[in-house]
Amino acid sequence: MEALFAVTLGVLTASGIYLILQARIFPVVLGLTLLSYAVNLFLFAMGRLAGGVPAVIGRSAEYGDPLPQALVLTAIVIGFAMTAFVVVLALRSLGETGTDHVDGQEPGK
Amino acid sequence: MALALIIALPFLGALIPLLVSRMGRSAVAIAAALAPACGLWLLFSQRAAVFAGEVQIAGTEWLPQLGLNLSLRLDGLGFLFALLILGIGLLVILYARYYLAKSEPQGRFYAFLLLFMGAMLGVVLSENMLLMLMFWELTSLSSFLLIGFWKHRSDARIGARMALAVTGGGGLALLAGILLIGQIVGSFELSVVLAAGDQIRASALYPLALVLVLLGVFTKSAQFPFHFWLPHAMAAPTPVSAYLHSATMVKAGVFLLARFYPALADSEWWFYLVSLTGLATLLVGAVLALFQHDLKGLLAYSTISHLGLITLLFGLDSKLAVVAAVFHIINHATFKASLFMAAGIIDHETGSRDMRSINGLWKYMPHTAVLAMVASSAMAGVPLLNGFLSKEMFFAETLKQHLLGSFYWVIPAVATLAGAFAVAYSLRFIHDVFFNGEPIDLPKYPPHEPARYMKIPVEILVFLCLLVGVLPGYTIASLLAAAATSSLNGELPQYSLTVWHGLNLPLAMSVLALVGGLFIYALRKPLFAWYEGLPEIDARVNFQRGITILMRITDALTDRLETGSLQRYMALLLGSVLLLVVFALSPLESLQGSLPAMPVDAITALGLGIMALTALLTAVFHRRSLVALMILSCTGLMVALAFARYSAPDLALTQLSVEVVTIILLMLALFFMPAQVPAESSSLRVLRDLGLAGGVGTLVALLVYAVITRPYQSISPYFLENSVPGGGGTNVVNVILVDFRGFDTLGEISVLAIAAVGIFALLGGLRLAHPSRDGNGRPWSTDSHPLILDILARALLPMALLISVFIFLRGHNLPGGGFIAGLVTAVALILQYVARGVAWTQARQPLAYHVLAGAGVLIATLTGLGSWLFGRPFLTSAFGHFHIPLIGEIELATAMLFDLGVYMTVVGATLMILSNIGQVSQAEPFREVR
């Protein structure tokens, strides 16, 4: 199971990386979103994986590691704020330069 | 305390002349003199202890983890230098009062001078080497300001820049050297380092540390081949030259030699490096000094030569040589300061510094002439003046060294030759300027004596030269003994400070130098002609050329790396990450750790498979934006499920609600973006991107696998144990967020609010073209308020709000809390926007979102501050159980109030972001949503 999880994370990362290497803004934003999924899962996995052990006192015999969960929870919300900021920055750049190329100008100009 | 005050006074005093700069020149000078005068008085009050051989160390810790402490040290050596810095500094302040013209900014001049003085005092009185280094760099910076004081003159600017580049660069080397010494000894405190000489010399790092420290010393003290900056620093006003190049700036280098002598000397490395550098500098400086036609140029090169002499003495590596070196430091400071001041007077009164036109001044300014002649004779080493005493000691010491083997005669021979040149240039200073016919084409004619008080500093210094020269035993002996003792770390050799030592070899060398000097001066005309014929080496041109070449190389490098293509930067960045991580992970022996593997279950495997597949498909379909976005949302949902599967219900809820708002956000953005992304990557670039993506993905997979199969030590048991007794909640994740790590959460919601404000600002005044058709040429639907969605949304709103209250209230004990409740509320409200449009929803909105977000951060902060009222640290939480009629037993915690702040911030920020972007897509002109 661990191997499968690791490979999945690898695929998420690879897809994200491929997308952020693209020239247009929207694929880059998609890539960032994929990367943040991967990063959040990665941080979460640092507390190791186990089923049925939520970190709620009294609900189970053992507890999962609550610390990575707390970290990731805020990371998800901040990730949304960051994505929104990037999107708006991209919109602003689209409005100012008239192109959605990441360099702010069409290639060859 | 007194020590710290001595250093602090000039820094504080630097402000006073600035404040009184409009009250006349004398007032400014007196104001400037206040701080050094107090400092001098404080220093003198420590005199008895210092002369008794006490070493005072005082200070407090600063960053003990780094070995950086605010510790100061006063011993004989520090006392001597502080005395020179403060004493000569006061004389320079008096002198500058008459030197600077009325139109020049006196206040600023004195402020710079005092800054420099404070920095110098810091260097000589620091016990901690890192602290000393900070002051050392400050001397470089403040001397830059002083040398470049006449900033309208290009030679002053170039001279200042050159001095800064050379001494600043040396400072970096010194930093590295000091760090190495600290590494070897394990402490940066001088008293520890000075006692650890054997340990340092035995270390393999010793040669490197020594060379680095010496680089700092040689650049600061203008030793060959770094001497070239000093003559160019003569573009400074003469009081600055008199100060920097007699007693302070350039002496900082030789001060370090004296300071580190017990720690670094006594090795062949030291002998060869220091003595040969000193010897070369001594000779080069003395020879070049004779050929300068500029009065200050002559003094500059003679300063270089004398610094070489002092360096050579330290390099000879005997205790007596150190005594002689310290003695010469004192003597050189006195006669050279007075000579610079005399040169300044001549410049001031004749308007020229060229010795080819300044002649015969004896007739016009006899008083100044006498003073300058006595000081020059001291420089030449004429008996009954202080320079003679230390020069005799120097000659004697050159005869004693033996490390050069059969070439032992080289050092005394070169020393005598340099001595002869010193006599020759001193003679030139006297004969050329004050005799030798009549002045030629002086800008100011006839010259006359300067203001009475301008001569006082020169008189004091010249008187000291005489006094020390005639009665060394009664004047300088105790100071010299104290300084030399501390330079040698406690052991003082036998020596006698008398004028007459009998007929011996050193005396013969002195006589030879005197006669040789007369001879060289007599031959000056053919010598000058020969020198004129030599190819000119202009340090300034070479320096500029070096800088230009350096700039060209760095420019080429930058152009190569920085093409302006973000894709390229990203690829370079990822490529380097790949390399570094591979390098870092290569020592890993086995990929799999010791934890038992979890069994594969079909449903989880299917979920993970869908997650991976949808991620891949997102990449594959990235050119069709809407399709890619829809596939991406599947990945997000699977991530939420993965959190739920692996015991993180809070995360699953958060991910789910964030997923909704993210997709809405991206849909909104997509409205403005081209629906089709053109295919413009060459196949080579696609290959590169695939390679990078595959490489990084593989690394991440390997890393994750390696980590999650290994056991680890967590700090979480603390949180699990204390969650209920300490935080009053059973949902440990929530208790961590609002209680244990509440400060982090406060930071995070602040970031959220700031992002929302930033987005609001970015959208301000944004005009975007509204496409009337989608990417496939179909017109947009005109039905902006679909009926079914509208009715559902209205029905859902109260339910969703109820659920969010429920999630909020139970959050402390069960999965939920402010973040999730806030997101649920936000989603419910967004749905109203989607169903009814911005204008309709906006009209029914009870509270402006930025107020909501701001109030949220404020409430969270105030909750934290509230604990101060009870004398607890920031964000300490309290909780208790209460019985409320109808509702029953309930637990209330201050953390809940904090969580309310989180809730409000999340709702406010999320809606502020989405509704403002939505606004842009609605009707023009853009109206802001609050």
CB neighbours (10 Å) of residue B810? Answer: 15
Chain A interface disruption, residue of B590, B620, B622, B722, most A CBs within 10 A: B622
Average pLDDT, stretch B745-750? 92
**pLDDT tens digit sequence for B716-734:** 888 888 888 877 888 899 8
Confidence band for B922, pLDDT divided at 50, 70 and 90: low
**Burial profile A14-30: b = 16 or more Cβ within 10 angstroms, e = fewer:** bbbbbbbbbbbbbbbbb
Instruction: Show the tokens assigned to B36.
Output: 């050094």
Which of the residues B733, B748, B749, B770 would you substitute to probe the A interface, choosing the one with the greatest number of A C-beta atoms within 10 Å?
A: B733
CB B845 within 8 A of CB B918: no
Does B67 score more than 60 pLDDT? yes
The per-residue pLDDT for B333 is 93
Rounded to an integer, the average pLDDT of B444-459 is 88
> Taking a C-beta distance cutoff of 8 angstroms, is the pair B666, B692 a contact?
no
| A64/B910 CB distance under 8 A | no
Q: What are phi and psi of B880, to 5 degrees?
A: -160, 165
B702 neighbourhood in chain A, CB within 8 Å: 6, 10
- In this prediction, residue B887 carries a pLDDT of 63
Mean pLDDT confidence for A54-63: 84
Query: Quick one: average pLDDT of B46-66?
Result: 89
Instruction: Reply yes or no on whether the pLDDT at B639 is more than 70.
Output: yes
Higher pLDDT, B247 or B190: B190
Closest partner CB to A49 (pick from B605, B708, B732): B708
Is A92 close to B646, i.e. CB distance below 8 A? no
Annotated domain spans of chain B: 270-470+503-529, 595-671, 731-929
With beta carbons less than 8 A apart as the criterion, state whether B105 and B145 touch: no
Inspect the interface and report whether the beta carbons of B597 and A30 lie closer than 8 Å.
no
What's the total number of domains in chain A?
1
Instruction: Give residue A9's domain range.
Output: 2-50+60-97
Residue A106 inside a domain? The answer is no
**Residue A15 within any structural domain of the chain:** yes
SS (H, E, C) chain A: CHHHHHHHHHHHHHHHHHHHCCCEHHHHHHHHHHHHHHHHHHHHHCCCCCCCCCCECCCCCCCCCHHHHHHHHHHHHHHHHHHHHHHHHHHHHHHHHCCCECCCCCCCC
Q: Count Cα neighbours of B253 within 13 Å in the Cβ-side half-sphere.
A: 34
What is the H or E stretch that residue B314 is in? helix B295-315
Shortest Cα distance from B622 to chain A (angstroms)? 6
Residues of B in contact with A13 (CB under 8 A): 693, 696-697, 700-701
Residue B880 has pLDDT above 80, yes or no: no
Residue B594's contacts (CB-CB under 8 Å, 6 or more residues apart) are B709, B710, B711
Cα dist. B610→B243, B753, B866 in Å? 78, 35, 48
Residues 16-75 of A with CB under 8 A from B: 16-27, 29-31, 33-34, 37-38, 40-42, 44-59, 63-67, 69-70, 72-74
Residue from B101, B540, B157, B94 nearest B351 by CA = B101
User: What pLDDT score was predicted for residue B784?
Assistant: 66
**Interatomic CA distance for residues B666 and B590, integer angstroms:** 42
Percent of chain B with pLDDT over 90: 53
Instruction: Residue A66: name the closest of B902, B120, B721 by CA.
Output: B721
Contact: B720, A48; criterion CB under 8 Å: no
CA-to-CA distance for B127 and B132, rounded, in angstroms? 7
Contact yes or no for A80 and B658 at CB 8 A: yes
Whether residue B675 has pLDDT greater than 80? no
Whether B673 sits inside 8 A of A73 (CB atoms) is no
DSSP string, B690-708: HHHHHHHHHHHHHHHHHHH
- Report how far residue B736's alpha carbon sits from residue A65's, in angstroms, rounded to the nearest whole number: 11
Average pLDDT over residues B43-48: 92
CA–CA gap between residue B225 and residue B283 (Å, rounded): 12
What is the DSSP code (8-state) at residue B714?
A: -
Averaged pLDDT, B881-894? 70
Residue B85 in this model has a pLDDT that exceeds 90: yes
Q: Which residues pair with B595 in a beta bridge?
A: none
Measured CA to CA in angstroms, residue B290 lies from A12, B221, B376, B394, B812 at distances of 77, 20, 13, 21, 87
Inter-chain CB proximity A6 and B701 less than 8 Å: yes
Q: Return the pLDDT at B886.
A: 67
Cα–Cα distances (Å) from B133 to B136, B183, B378, B928, in that order, read 5, 16, 33, 55
Q: Is B756 left (phi over 0), alpha (psi -120 to 50) or beta?
A: alpha
Q: Which pLDDT belongs to residue B443?
A: 84
Q: Which residue has the tokens 């293509």?
A: B565
How confident is the model at residue B928, as a pLDDT? Answer: 47
Question: Tell me, what amino acid is at B887?
Answer: I
Alpha-carbon gap, residue B32 to B96, rounded angstroms: 11
Minimum CA–CA partner of B644 in chain A = A51
What pLDDT digit, counting tens, does each position of B543-597 carry? Answer: 888 889 999 999 999 888 888 888 889 999 999 999 998 888 888 888 888 888 8
> Domain containing A27 — which CATH number?
1.10.287
Share of chain B above pLDDT 70, in %: 97
Q: Chain B within 8 Å of A103 (Cβ-Cβ)? A: yes
Q: What is the DSSP letter of B360?
A: -
φ/ψ (deg, to 5) at B745: -65, -40
Could you give the CA distance from residue B99 to residue B703 in angstroms, rounded to a whole number? 71
Flag whether residue A106 sits within 8 Å of chain B, measured between CB atoms.
no
> Does a structural domain hold residue A34?
yes
Mean pLDDT of B2-21: 91
Tokens read off for B386: 């202080």
pLDDT of residue B930: 47
A102 within domain boundaries: no
What CA–CA distance (Å, rounded) separates B668 from B921? 7
The DSSP result for B535-594, as a single string, is PP--HHHHHHHHHHHHHHHHHHHHHHH--S-HHHHHHHHHHHHHHHHHHHHTT---SS-S
Nearest CA in chain A to B668: A87
- List alpha helices for B381-493, DSSP H: 386-400, 410-434, 452-470, 472-475, 477-487
Please provide the size of chain A in residues: 109
B171 or B532: which leads in pLDDT:
B171
Distance from C-alpha of B116 to C-alpha of B114, rounded to nearest angstrom: 5
> B159-187: per-residue pLDDT in tens?
999 999 999 999 999 999 999 999 999 99
Distance CA B745, CA A71 (A): 9
Instruction: Say if residue B388's pLDDT is above 70.
Output: yes
In this structure, the strands spanning B68-74 and B56-63 are antiparallel
Q: For residue B505, how far is the Cα from the chain centroid?
A: 51
Looking at residue B925, its pLDDT comes to: 44
**Residue B673 Cα, gap to closest chain A Cα (Å):** 7
Please list, in sequence order, all residues whose beta carbon lies within 8 angstroms of the beta carbon of residue B195, skipping any fewer than 6 positions away: B262, B489
Question: Which residue bears the tokens 């969650």?
Answer: B723
What backbone torsions phi and psi does residue B24 show, to the nearest 5 degrees? 100, 155
Query: Residue ranges of the alpha helices (H) in B126-153?
Result: 129-147
Nearest chain A alpha carbon to B709: A2
Token pair in block for residue A85: 């900021």
At residue B715, the 3 state secondary structure works out as coil
From the candidates B595, B614, B651, B739, which should be mutated to test the interface with A, based on the most A CB atoms within 10 A? B651
Find the helix packing angle between B319-350 and B386-400, rounded to 10°: 140
Q: Which of A2, A34, A72 sits opposite B597 (nearest CB)?
A: A2
CB B860, CB B895: distance < 8 Å: no
Instruction: Give the model confidence (pLDDT) of B96-117 as tens digits.
Output: 999 998 888 899 999 999 999 9
User: How many angstroms separate the Cα of B146 from the Cα of each of B255, B426, B799?
Assistant: 21, 27, 74
Residue length of chain B: 930
**Gap between the Cα atoms of B332 and B338, Å rounded:** 10
Average pLDDT, chain B: 89
Residue B876, pLDDT > 80, answer no
How far apart CA B66 and CA B794 sit, in angstroms, is 62
Closest by alpha carbon to B178, among B215, B129, B140? B129
The pLDDT score that the predictor gives to residue B823 is 92
- Nearest residue to B311 via CA among B227, B229, B240, B383: B227
pLDDT at residue B83 in the model: 95
